[in-house]
Structure 1
């Protein structure tokens, strides 16, 4: 893992759809910003502002039309799919609004899945970390249950543990607490804070909830495909 404080850097990032056609549309118009290891940031903006498009590009799930995205100092625009997949698996954790668990697998297997895809059979250290994360999200007694036996909120908590299992340099979370009750949401938020502080994992939360964004250290506001503001909270400036 790179020792640089910079995790992610975007330079003049643009994204268009239907390129070369009469209905071509540009949805991201030259995005520039940097995410550092200590950052605990919220990405906000109205529906249709381009948040989901930007999130997919940040996670190397989609490619920009032009511009460059650097992940841990590595330019990614010229990487092939295999290189991008490898870098994404090593460096980025995802928590999506929809949990995408494998229903026939156990809770423990779902949490371990990102490691199993890369390394095969997990070692004891990985299994112990998975149990630690399940305890942190309040599911320590659910490890052997099938994902299909859990409620929606419980499945979301499993997805959060899965997103953290690789000890990523960057955690991308799309409305991560949207399906959780307020108590669990608060506990999950504190887990993100712990990971950010103790493991130098940069956190970027995409949220519509102004209460959630207000508790982050930094708020990036995307409007009509452009960064309208990028501000630190008073707490972060102290």
Structure 2
């Protein structure tokens, strides 16, 4: 992966403008769950997104990840407006600019660690070439699993499998990493290790991180804490100095 020195750390990777999301449009049961959100993230940002159940975190993450479309407002990814983009363009942006890590790693059991890391590239480009395989090995080395490249997921611990998932999310060298409760299924030691990986990739490779978590210990270590309440941003404050 390219070193952070090649990136402008103040480059804006995400901009939300008046973002709204409603369900059951036109029906008596219509409900608006996000109410005009404004937010921006730069490459240097390492932010936690917190809020009680039902506050709109999952809806917001799906919109930012271009998995759903807003009812009103705009989502800009690296300056490109996306609300009216067609499915192919949204898929291309999602595949190349945004990485995802979830609570459950969703590794493919029949594939090796290296093959799992390379999966996003294989879906887009087919069989990986030598340069892509070298990138996969490099990422496994970054997450401390260089010696485990040929192991299947059932030969790895839970923490190791999640580190493979982190490497997979970063293989496309995204500008933004979205992490949805990524440590919720791990013991405290493994959780700390995965969090440290996010921090390292943010600082070393200029990948903005937006981390959804209920873990107050983790959110307190983030540079920003964005709090959602009833579909609105209630606060956006610094976490750690």
User: What TM-score, normalized to structure 2?
Assistant: 0.91
Query: Which of 36, 51, 57 is the equivalent residue of 1:51?
Result: 57
* Rounded Cα–Cα distance in structure 2 between residues aligned with 1:141 and 1:234: 34
Paired residues of 1:2 and 1:72 also in contact (CA < 8 A): no
- Structure 1 stretch 119-128 or stretch 72-81: which is displaced more? 119-128
1:196 corresponds in structure 2 to 202
The Cα offsets for residues 46-72 of structure 1, whole Å up to 9 and x where unpaired, read as: 011110110010000111111100000
* Rounded Cα–Cα distance in structure 2 between residues aligned with 1:234 and 1:216: 6
Paired residues of 2:48 and 2:210 also in contact (CA < 8 A): yes
1:91 corresponds in structure 2 to 97
CA displacement at 1:126 relative to structure 2? 2.2
* Rounded Cα–Cα distance in structure 2 between residues aligned with 1:98 and 1:187: 16
CA displacement at 1:160 relative to structure 2? 1.2
Find the residue that maps to 2:164 and give its secondary structure.
helix
1:21 has 2:24 as partner: no
* Rounded Cα–Cα distance in structure 2 between residues aligned with 1:126 and 1:2: 21
* Rounded Cα–Cα distance in structure 2 between residues aligned with 1:230 and 1:166: 29
1:36 has 2:48 as partner: no
* Rounded Cα–Cα distance in structure 1 between residues aligned with 2:194 and 2:158: 15
The Cα offsets for residues 155-186 of structure 1, whole Å up to 9 and x where unpaired, read as: 32221111111111000001111222222222
* Rounded Cα–Cα distance in structure 2 between residues aligned with 1:90 and 1:134: 19
1:10 has 2:16 as partner: yes
Alignment of 1:179-218 (within 5 A): 179-218=185-224
Paired residues of 1:16 and 1:24 also in contact (CA < 8 A): yes
Find the residue that maps to 1:197 and give its secondary structure.
helix
1:64 corresponds in structure 2 to 70
Number of aligned positions between the proteins: 235
Find the residue that maps to 1:221 and give its secondary structure.
strand
For structure 2, the residue ranges without an aligned partner over 5 or more in a row are 1-5
- Structure 1 stretch 127-136 or stretch 108-117: which is displaced more? 127-136
CA displacement at 1:151 relative to structure 2? 4.3
The Cα offsets for residues 118-150 of structure 1, whole Å up to 9 and x where unpaired, read as: 222222232223223223334333322223444
Paired residues of 2:47 and 2:224 also in contact (CA < 8 A): yes
CA displacement at 1:2 relative to structure 2? 9.0
For structure 1, the residue ranges without an aligned partner over 5 or more in a row are none
The Cα offsets for residues 99-130 of structure 1, whole Å up to 9 and x where unpaired, read as: 22222222211110111122222222322232
CA displacement at 1:230 relative to structure 2? 0.4
Alignment of 1:66-215 (within 5 A): 66-215=72-221
* Rounded Cα–Cα distance in structure 1 between residues aligned with 2:222 and 2:105: 23
The Cα offsets for residues 62-109 of structure 1, whole Å up to 9 and x where unpaired, read as: 111111000000000111110000011110010011222222222211
